[in-house]
Amino acid sequence: MNTHFILRGFGRYAPERVMTNADLEKIVDTSDEWITTRTGIKERHIAADDQAASDMAYEAAKVALADAGMDASELTHIVCGTFTPDAMVPSTACRIQEKFGIKGQACVDIAAACSGFVYALETARGYIALNPDSKVLVVTSEVISRRMNWEDRTTCVLFGDAAGAAIVTAGEPGEGPEIKDIRLAADGSLGDLLTVNGGGSRYAYKLGETVGEEFFVQFQGREVFKHAVRNMCGICETVLKDNGMVKADVDVLIPHQANWRIIDAVGRKLEIPAERVFSNVDRYGNTSAASVPVALSEALDTEFVKKGDTVLIPTFGGGFTWAAALIQF
Protein backbone atom coordinates (compact mmCIF):
# COMPACT_ATOMS: atom_id res chain seq x y z
CA MET A 1 0.00 0.00 0.00
CA ASN A 2 1.28 3.45 -0.91
CA THR A 3 1.49 5.88 2.01
CA HIS A 4 0.06 9.33 1.37
CA PHE A 5 1.74 12.13 3.33
CA ILE A 6 -0.77 14.80 4.29
CA LEU A 7 -0.03 18.31 5.57
CA ARG A 8 -2.68 18.93 8.23
CA GLY A 9 -1.98 22.47 9.34
CA PHE A 10 0.33 25.43 8.89
CA GLY A 11 1.53 28.19 11.20
CA ARG A 12 3.95 31.07 11.21
CA TYR A 13 5.34 33.55 13.69
CA ALA A 14 7.41 36.69 13.29
CA PRO A 15 8.67 38.78 16.20
CA GLU A 16 7.03 42.15 16.78
CA ARG A 17 10.05 44.34 16.14
CA VAL A 18 10.45 45.42 12.51
CA MET A 19 13.74 46.81 11.22
CA THR A 20 13.45 48.80 7.98
CA ASN A 21 16.16 49.62 5.47
CA ALA A 22 16.03 53.20 6.83
CA ASP A 23 16.87 51.79 10.29
CA LEU A 24 19.86 49.96 8.78
CA GLU A 25 21.08 53.16 7.11
CA LYS A 26 21.70 54.44 10.65
CA ILE A 27 23.81 51.39 11.60
CA VAL A 28 25.98 50.65 8.54
CA ASP A 29 27.06 52.40 5.34
CA THR A 30 24.16 51.25 3.18
CA SER A 31 21.05 52.63 1.52
CA ASP A 32 17.46 51.63 0.97
CA GLU A 33 18.19 51.96 -2.75
CA TRP A 34 21.10 49.44 -2.64
CA ILE A 35 19.24 46.91 -0.50
CA THR A 36 16.04 47.17 -2.56
CA THR A 37 17.65 46.89 -5.98
CA ARG A 38 20.13 44.12 -5.00
CA THR A 39 17.78 42.04 -2.85
CA GLY A 40 14.16 43.24 -2.93
CA ILE A 41 14.19 43.41 0.88
CA LYS A 42 12.47 46.42 2.52
CA GLU A 43 12.18 45.26 6.13
CA ARG A 44 12.77 42.26 8.41
CA HIS A 45 11.61 41.14 11.86
CA ILE A 46 14.08 41.00 14.74
CA ALA A 47 13.59 38.84 17.83
CA ALA A 48 13.33 40.44 21.27
CA ASP A 49 16.41 40.02 23.48
CA ASP A 50 14.72 37.30 25.52
CA GLN A 51 13.40 35.32 22.52
CA ALA A 52 15.19 32.14 21.46
CA ALA A 53 14.47 29.80 18.54
CA SER A 54 12.23 27.53 20.63
CA ASP A 55 10.09 30.47 21.80
CA MET A 56 9.29 31.44 18.23
CA ALA A 57 8.92 27.82 17.11
CA TYR A 58 6.41 27.25 19.92
CA GLU A 59 4.27 30.17 18.68
CA ALA A 60 4.28 28.91 15.08
CA ALA A 61 3.62 25.33 16.20
CA LYS A 62 0.60 26.36 18.28
CA VAL A 63 -0.94 27.97 15.18
CA ALA A 64 -0.22 24.89 13.05
CA LEU A 65 -1.76 22.56 15.65
CA ALA A 66 -4.88 24.73 15.89
CA ASP A 67 -5.09 24.80 12.08
CA ALA A 68 -4.87 20.99 12.09
CA GLY A 69 -7.45 20.71 14.91
CA MET A 70 -4.94 18.72 16.93
CA ASP A 71 -3.64 18.79 20.46
CA ALA A 72 0.12 18.73 21.09
CA SER A 73 -0.32 15.53 23.12
CA GLU A 74 -1.25 13.71 19.89
CA LEU A 75 2.20 14.34 18.39
CA THR A 76 4.63 11.44 18.09
CA HIS A 77 7.64 13.38 16.73
CA ILE A 78 9.01 16.93 16.80
CA VAL A 79 11.49 17.77 14.05
CA CYS A 80 13.04 21.23 14.22
CA GLY A 81 15.11 22.75 11.42
CA THR A 82 17.40 25.55 12.57
CA PHE A 83 20.96 26.82 12.33
CA THR A 84 20.38 29.15 15.27
CA PRO A 85 19.31 26.64 17.96
CA ASP A 86 18.69 27.66 21.57
CA ALA A 87 21.84 25.73 22.51
CA MET A 88 24.15 22.91 21.42
CA VAL A 89 22.38 20.70 23.97
CA PRO A 90 19.50 20.18 24.54
CA SER A 91 18.05 20.27 21.06
CA THR A 92 15.58 23.02 20.19
CA ALA A 93 13.03 20.27 19.46
CA CYS A 94 13.32 19.10 23.10
CA ARG A 95 12.82 22.69 24.27
CA ILE A 96 9.67 22.96 22.13
CA GLN A 97 8.38 19.72 23.63
CA GLU A 98 9.04 21.10 27.11
CA LYS A 99 7.07 24.28 26.27
CA PHE A 100 4.05 22.21 25.24
CA GLY A 101 4.30 20.30 28.53
CA ILE A 102 4.30 16.96 26.72
CA LYS A 103 6.66 13.99 27.07
CA GLY A 104 7.74 10.88 25.22
CA GLN A 105 7.82 12.16 21.63
CA ALA A 106 10.97 11.66 19.55
CA CYS A 107 12.62 15.10 19.29
CA VAL A 108 15.40 15.98 16.89
CA ASP A 109 16.98 19.04 15.24
CA ILE A 110 17.92 19.14 11.57
CA ALA A 111 20.95 21.18 10.46
CA ALA A 112 20.47 21.90 6.78
CA ALA A 113 20.53 25.73 6.92
CA CYS A 114 18.05 27.31 4.50
CA SER A 115 16.95 23.89 3.21
CA GLY A 116 15.96 22.89 6.74
CA PHE A 117 12.19 22.83 6.22
CA VAL A 118 12.23 20.52 3.20
CA TYR A 119 14.89 18.30 4.83
CA ALA A 120 12.65 18.15 7.92
CA LEU A 121 9.60 17.29 5.79
CA GLU A 122 11.51 14.39 4.27
CA THR A 123 12.50 13.24 7.76
CA ALA A 124 8.80 13.32 8.69
CA ARG A 125 7.96 11.24 5.62
CA GLY A 126 10.55 8.71 6.76
CA TYR A 127 9.02 8.40 10.24
CA ILE A 128 5.52 8.05 8.76
CA ALA A 129 6.68 5.48 6.20
CA LEU A 130 8.11 3.40 9.06
CA ASN A 131 5.08 3.89 11.29
CA PRO A 132 1.90 5.19 9.60
CA ASP A 133 0.48 6.27 12.99
CA SER A 134 3.17 8.95 13.33
CA LYS A 135 2.00 12.54 13.75
CA VAL A 136 4.95 14.79 13.12
CA LEU A 137 5.38 18.44 14.00
CA VAL A 138 7.79 19.94 11.48
CA VAL A 139 8.91 23.32 12.70
CA THR A 140 11.68 25.67 11.65
CA SER A 141 12.83 28.69 13.58
CA GLU A 142 15.71 31.11 13.13
CA VAL A 143 17.06 33.90 15.31
CA ILE A 144 19.63 34.96 12.75
CA SER A 145 19.93 38.42 14.28
CA ARG A 146 22.05 36.78 17.02
CA ARG A 147 24.48 35.53 14.39
CA MET A 148 24.68 38.77 12.43
CA ASN A 149 27.75 40.94 12.46
CA TRP A 150 25.94 44.27 12.70
CA GLU A 151 29.12 46.01 11.48
CA ASP A 152 29.21 44.03 8.22
CA ARG A 153 26.94 45.64 5.63
CA THR A 154 27.44 42.78 3.18
CA THR A 155 25.53 40.38 5.46
CA CYS A 156 23.49 42.22 8.10
CA VAL A 157 21.01 43.74 5.64
CA LEU A 158 19.93 40.36 4.26
CA PHE A 159 18.49 38.32 7.10
CA GLY A 160 15.52 38.32 9.47
CA ASP A 161 14.01 36.24 12.29
CA ALA A 162 10.88 34.07 12.01
CA ALA A 163 9.42 30.62 12.56
CA GLY A 164 7.07 28.37 10.60
CA ALA A 165 5.43 25.02 11.21
CA ALA A 166 3.37 22.25 9.65
CA ILE A 167 1.89 18.97 10.86
CA VAL A 168 2.47 15.87 8.73
CA THR A 169 0.56 12.59 9.06
CA ALA A 170 -0.47 9.69 6.85
CA GLY A 171 -3.88 10.00 5.25
CA GLU A 172 -6.07 9.47 2.22
CA PRO A 173 -5.62 11.40 -1.05
CA GLY A 174 -7.79 14.53 -1.03
CA GLU A 175 -7.85 14.78 2.78
CA GLY A 176 -5.52 17.77 2.65
CA PRO A 177 -2.40 19.06 0.87
CA GLU A 178 -0.32 16.02 -0.06
CA ILE A 179 3.47 15.84 -0.26
CA LYS A 180 3.82 14.11 -3.63
CA ASP A 181 7.61 13.96 -3.63
CA ILE A 182 10.81 15.43 -2.22
CA ARG A 183 14.41 15.49 -3.45
CA LEU A 184 17.35 16.40 -1.21
CA ALA A 185 20.94 17.14 -2.21
CA ALA A 186 24.17 18.58 -0.82
CA ASP A 187 27.77 19.35 -1.76
CA GLY A 188 29.97 19.56 1.33
CA SER A 189 33.04 20.52 -0.70
CA LEU A 190 31.49 24.01 -1.04
CA GLY A 191 30.80 24.39 2.68
CA ASP A 192 33.33 27.18 3.20
CA LEU A 193 31.36 29.52 0.93
CA LEU A 194 28.70 30.06 3.64
CA THR A 195 29.62 29.54 7.27
CA VAL A 196 28.92 30.21 10.92
CA ASN A 197 32.08 28.67 12.32
CA GLY A 198 32.56 30.28 15.71
CA GLY A 199 31.58 28.21 18.73
CA GLY A 200 31.79 24.90 16.88
CA SER A 201 34.33 22.23 17.83
CA ARG A 202 36.77 23.38 15.11
CA TYR A 203 36.53 27.04 16.17
CA ALA A 204 35.79 26.65 19.86
CA TYR A 205 36.29 29.53 22.28
CA LYS A 206 38.24 29.24 25.51
CA LEU A 207 36.82 30.51 28.78
CA GLY A 208 36.97 34.31 28.84
CA GLU A 209 37.74 34.69 25.11
CA THR A 210 35.61 37.16 23.17
CA VAL A 211 33.96 36.10 19.93
CA GLY A 212 35.45 37.04 16.58
CA GLU A 213 33.94 37.60 13.13
CA GLU A 214 33.73 33.83 12.65
CA PHE A 215 30.94 33.77 15.25
CA PHE A 216 28.66 35.36 12.64
CA VAL A 217 27.25 34.43 9.24
CA GLN A 218 29.94 34.84 6.58
CA PHE A 219 29.57 34.08 2.88
CA GLN A 220 30.76 34.80 -0.61
CA GLY A 221 27.57 36.34 -1.95
CA ARG A 222 28.16 36.04 -5.68
CA GLU A 223 29.21 32.38 -5.46
CA VAL A 224 26.22 31.54 -3.26
CA PHE A 225 23.94 33.34 -5.70
CA LYS A 226 25.24 31.40 -8.71
CA HIS A 227 25.04 27.98 -7.04
CA ALA A 228 21.62 28.78 -5.58
CA VAL A 229 20.03 29.52 -8.95
CA ARG A 230 21.70 26.59 -10.73
CA ASN A 231 20.93 23.96 -8.07
CA MET A 232 17.38 25.08 -7.27
CA CYS A 233 16.51 24.90 -10.97
CA GLY A 234 18.29 21.57 -11.42
CA ILE A 235 16.56 19.84 -8.53
CA CYS A 236 13.16 21.18 -9.62
CA GLU A 237 13.67 19.72 -13.08
CA THR A 238 14.67 16.38 -11.51
CA VAL A 239 11.64 16.13 -9.23
CA LEU A 240 9.28 17.10 -12.08
CA LYS A 241 10.83 14.60 -14.49
CA ASP A 242 10.77 11.79 -11.91
CA ASN A 243 7.05 12.44 -11.43
CA GLY A 244 6.26 12.51 -15.15
CA MET A 245 5.53 16.25 -15.02
CA VAL A 246 6.64 19.28 -17.01
CA LYS A 247 7.22 22.89 -15.94
CA ALA A 248 3.77 23.89 -17.24
CA ASP A 249 2.18 21.54 -14.67
CA VAL A 250 3.37 23.79 -11.84
CA ASP A 251 0.68 26.21 -10.66
CA VAL A 252 2.73 28.03 -8.01
CA LEU A 253 6.46 28.28 -7.30
CA ILE A 254 7.45 29.06 -3.70
CA PRO A 255 11.24 29.27 -3.63
CA HIS A 256 13.33 29.81 -0.50
CA GLN A 257 13.16 33.55 0.13
CA ALA A 258 16.79 34.73 0.13
CA ASN A 259 16.86 37.49 -2.43
CA TRP A 260 14.26 38.66 -4.96
CA ARG A 261 16.85 38.39 -7.76
CA ILE A 262 17.44 34.70 -6.95
CA ILE A 263 13.68 34.04 -6.77
CA ASP A 264 13.13 35.87 -10.06
CA ALA A 265 16.01 34.07 -11.81
CA VAL A 266 14.72 30.64 -10.69
CA GLY A 267 11.19 31.51 -11.83
CA ARG A 268 12.43 32.67 -15.24
CA LYS A 269 14.65 29.62 -15.80
CA LEU A 270 11.77 27.32 -14.86
CA GLU A 271 9.51 29.35 -17.18
CA ILE A 272 6.94 29.96 -14.44
CA PRO A 273 5.14 33.28 -15.05
CA ALA A 274 6.08 35.94 -12.46
CA GLU A 275 2.48 36.20 -11.20
CA ARG A 276 2.67 32.54 -10.12
CA VAL A 277 5.94 32.94 -8.19
CA PHE A 278 5.34 33.72 -4.51
CA SER A 279 7.58 36.12 -2.65
CA ASN A 280 7.45 37.87 0.70
CA VAL A 281 11.20 38.54 0.94
CA ASP A 282 10.43 42.28 0.91
CA ARG A 283 8.84 41.99 4.41
CA TYR A 284 10.96 39.25 6.03
CA GLY A 285 14.41 39.20 4.45
CA ASN A 286 16.08 35.80 4.41
CA THR A 287 14.79 33.81 7.39
CA SER A 288 16.73 30.67 6.37
CA ALA A 289 14.89 27.46 7.34
CA ALA A 290 11.80 29.45 8.37
CA SER A 291 11.34 31.08 4.97
CA VAL A 292 9.45 28.25 3.25
CA PRO A 293 6.78 27.54 5.91
CA VAL A 294 6.27 31.27 6.50
CA ALA A 295 5.82 31.77 2.74
CA LEU A 296 3.57 28.71 2.43
CA SER A 297 1.33 29.80 5.26
CA GLU A 298 1.04 33.35 3.85
CA ALA A 299 0.40 32.01 0.35
CA LEU A 300 -2.49 29.96 1.74
CA ASP A 301 -3.93 32.79 3.84
CA THR A 302 -3.89 35.17 0.85
CA GLU A 303 -5.21 32.46 -1.52
CA PHE A 304 -2.12 32.80 -3.69
CA VAL A 305 -2.22 29.00 -3.37
CA LYS A 306 -5.66 27.42 -3.83
CA LYS A 307 -7.08 23.95 -3.47
CA GLY A 308 -6.03 21.85 -6.44
CA ASP A 309 -2.78 23.75 -7.07
CA THR A 310 0.48 21.92 -7.71
CA VAL A 311 3.15 23.79 -5.76
CA LEU A 312 6.88 23.41 -6.30
CA ILE A 313 9.25 24.48 -3.50
CA PRO A 314 12.99 24.73 -4.19
CA THR A 315 15.47 25.64 -1.44
CA PHE A 316 19.19 26.32 -1.18
CA GLY A 317 21.49 27.04 1.74
CA GLY A 318 24.75 26.57 3.60
CA GLY A 319 26.40 23.18 3.33
CA PHE A 320 25.69 23.62 0.46
CA THR A 321 22.32 21.92 0.75
CA TRP A 322 19.44 22.14 -1.67
CA ALA A 323 16.07 20.48 -2.00
CA ALA A 324 12.72 20.50 -3.76
CA ALA A 325 9.25 19.54 -2.55
CA LEU A 326 6.27 18.90 -4.77
CA ILE A 327 2.96 19.45 -2.98
CA GLN A 328 -0.55 18.91 -4.30
CA PHE A 329 -2.99 21.25 -2.52
**Which residues partner with 108 through β-bridges?**
79
Q: At what angle do helices 116-130 and 291-301 cross, to 10 degrees?
A: 80
Least Å distance, CB 197 to ligand UT7, is 15
Least Å distance, CB 228 to ligand UT7, is 6
Select the residue interacting with ligand UT7 from 6, 11, 15, 39 (CB under 6 A): 39
Residue 286 known to be catalytic: yes
224 lies in the binding site for ligand UT7 (CB under 6 A): yes
153 lies in the binding site for ligand UT7 (CB under 6 A): yes
Select the residue interacting with ligand UT7 from 25, 32, 36, 38 (CB under 6 A): 38
What is the rounded CA–CA span in Å between residue 10 and residue 139? Answer: 10
Closest residue to bound ligand UT7 by CB: 221
226 lies in the binding site for ligand UT7 (CB under 6 A): no
Binding positions for ligand UT7, 67-126, rule CB under 6 A: 114
Least Å distance, CB 218 to ligand UT7, is 10
Least Å distance, CB 261 to ligand UT7, is 7
What is the rounded CA–CA span in Å between residue 277 and residue 286? Answer: 16
Stretch binding ligand UT7 (CB under 6 A), from 68-76, 85-93, 121-129, 151-159 = 151-159
Q: In terms of CB distance, is 72 or 113 closer to ligand UT7?
A: 113
Site string for ligand UT7, 257-296 (x = CB under 6 A): -xx--------------------------x----------
Binding residues for ligand UT7, rule CB under 6 A, total 22
221 lies in the binding site for ligand UT7 (CB under 6 A): yes
Residue 256 known to be catalytic: yes
Residue 131 known to be catalytic: no
The residues annotated as belonging to the active site are 114, 256, 286
| Binding footprint of ligand UT7 on the chain (CB under 6 A) | 30, 34-35, 38-39, 114, 153-154, 157, 194, 219, 221-222, 224-225, 228, 256, 258-259, 286, 316-317
